[in-house]
Chain A
Amino acid sequence: MDITASIQDDENLLVQIASRDEAAFALLLDRHFENVRALAWRVLANHAEVDDIAQDVFLKLWKNPQSFTPGKAKFSTWLYRVTLNACIDRQRKNNKSPLTLTDTTIEETTPDSAPTPEQQAINTNRAQRVSKAIAGLPDRQRHAIALTHFQELSNIEAAQIMDTSVEAVESLLGRARRALKASLRSDINELLNKTT
């Protein structure tokens, strides 16, 4: 990879993409690919659609790079917003509410943190409950949790992406945390009993 290319900022890469520079597109894809997929993964219940969303988002960017308006927000913030909107559109089309998760997805991706099969089973079940608790949140609350907790964005950035105020994001986060605490009460108590 060209050293000069690696230090180019996103906006310069977009200019090159507008003149059909495939190398610039590959660089931008490398830079943001995982973040786009990670957000779609947290927002969409149907994980099979995550890759479709990522593909759509990046191909739209390739076809229409000038849709980004510099100065309004950072490119990454804008890209998250495009991804979130794409996920919302997809969910509306599928009309899947409340969200349901597939067990197989969780079993495939649960980290192997315990040596014994018994402990592994407990962890898998717990991960499944956590995923279901997240999926059970109302859409806006889940979006706020996905952006701030999983993508580690600030409340300000989350508010920009969700097109709302920072106060609204804080309120959504508060309600989401209370809901999650209620859903995961048994797991929380179990962990607290272990530590005390």
Chain B
Amino acid sequence: MKNRQMTQDNYPQTASHQAMLKLLDQAPVVPASPSLRDDIISLALLDLSPAAPASPALKNKILSAAKENPTQPASAEIINFSPKPQHRPDRRWLTGNAFAAGLMAASLVLGFWTGTSNFADTLIAAPLELAGLQLPETDDSMNYYNIIDGLGPSESAL
């Protein structure tokens, strides 16, 4: 109560405040729903409809009928519908291995084609050679660093 009084003191009932309260009062109220009561009562009436009476003998009848009807057990294949945790292979592992294998295969093919054996050299040199770029020749074999150096402007051009 004390707090409310303090609030009122802090926020005096100005004309604008009164106008705002009037506006709030004009906000639409919950519309009447005369049919809702009917809906609720009609649904409640449904429960007057009698439920199925108990039939304890039936359960025993079904069980004895099942005993009298011993069909062959289903084969293991059919029984195998039981939910089991599905084996989900690690996709990252597969992707990584597939990528590495692909890289090795590409390296071998390109190595045979270009006549080089170095893995890194092959990967870099082969596409460039295929693209028709001139690569610097080295004494023994193409070397990764030589190739990178060779891609820059030549000394004579400078």
A134 CB–B CB distance under 8 Å? yes
In residues 153-194 of chain A, which contact B (Cβ within 8 Å)?
177, 180-181, 184, 187-188, 191-192
Give residues of chain B (66-117) contacting chain A, Cβ–Cβ below 8 Å: 66-67, 69-71, 73-74, 78-79, 81-83
Among B14-22, B55-63, B121-129, the stretch in contact with A: B55-63
| Identity of the chain B residue whose Cβ is nearest the Cβ of A41 in the assembled complex | B52
Interface presence of B158 (CB below 8 A): no
Contacts of A180 in B (CB 8 A): 42, 45-46
Looking at B5-13, B33-41, B133-141, the stretch in contact with chain A turns out to be: B33-41
Contact A69 B81 (CB under 8 A): yes
Q: Once the chains are docked, how many angstroms separate the CA of A29 from the CA of B55?
A: 13
Identify which of residues 81-110 in chain A touch chain B, using a CB-to-CB cut-off of 8 Å: 105-106, 108-110
Query: Helix, strand, loop or mixed for chain A's interface?
Result: helix
Q: Is B69 touching A71 in the complex (CB atoms < 8 A)? A: no
Residues of B contacting A: mostly: helix
Identify the closest chain A residue to B53 (Cβ).
A109
Cβ-neighbour of A51 out of B45, B51, B55, B81 (below 8 A)? B55
A35 CB to nearest chain B CB (Å): 10
Judge whether A66 is part of the interface by a CB distance below 8 angstroms. yes
The answer to whether A149 touches B43 (Cβ under 8 A) is yes
Complex CA–CA separation, A131 to B46 (angstroms): 8
- The answer, yes or no, to whether A117 is at the interface (CB within 8 Å) is no
Chain B residues near A47 (CB-CB < 8 A): 52
Interface size, A (range) = 35 or more
Q: Is the CB of B49 within 8 A of A15?
A: no
Contact A25-B59, Cβ < 8 Å, known A15-B79, A66-B74, A71-B83: no
Q: A18, B74: Cβ atoms under 8 Å?
A: yes
Q: Given that A20-B70, A70-B82 are contacting pairs, would A29 and B49 also be in contact in the complex, using a CB cutoff of 8 Å?
A: no
Is B31 engaged at the interface, CB distance under 8 Å to the other chain?
no
B83 engages A70 (CB within 8 Å): yes
Closest to A68 in B: B81
**Residue in A closest to B56 when the chains form the complex, CB atoms:** A33
The smallest beta-carbon distance between B63 and chain A, in angstroms, is 6
Asked if A130 contacts B52 (CB within 8 A), the reply is no
Q: Give Cα distance in the complex from A25 to B62, angstroms.
A: 10
What 5 A-B pairs have minimum CB-CB distances, sorted nearest first? A109-B50, A41-B52, A18-B74, A15-B82, A127-B48
* B residues at A contact (CB < 8 Å): 37-39, 41-43, 45-46, 48-53, 55, 58-59, 61-63, 65-67, 69-71, 73-74, 78-79, 81-83
**27 interchain pairs, CB-CB under 8 A:** A11-B83, A15-B81, A15-B82, A18-B78, A18-B79, A19-B73, A20-B71, A29-B63, A33-B62, A38-B51, A50-B52, A51-B55, A55-B62, A58-B66, A66-B74, A106-B50, A111-B50, A126-B45, A126-B48, A130-B48, A130-B49, A177-B39, A180-B42, A180-B46, A188-B38, A188-B42, A192-B38
Give A contacts to B, CB under 8 Å: 11-12, 14-15, 18-20, 22, 25-26, 29-30, 33-34, 37-38, 40-41, 47, 50-51, 54-55, 58-59, 62-63, 65-66, 68-71, 105-106, 108-111, 123, 126-127, 130-131, 134, 145, 149-150, 177, 180-181, 184, 187-188, 191-192
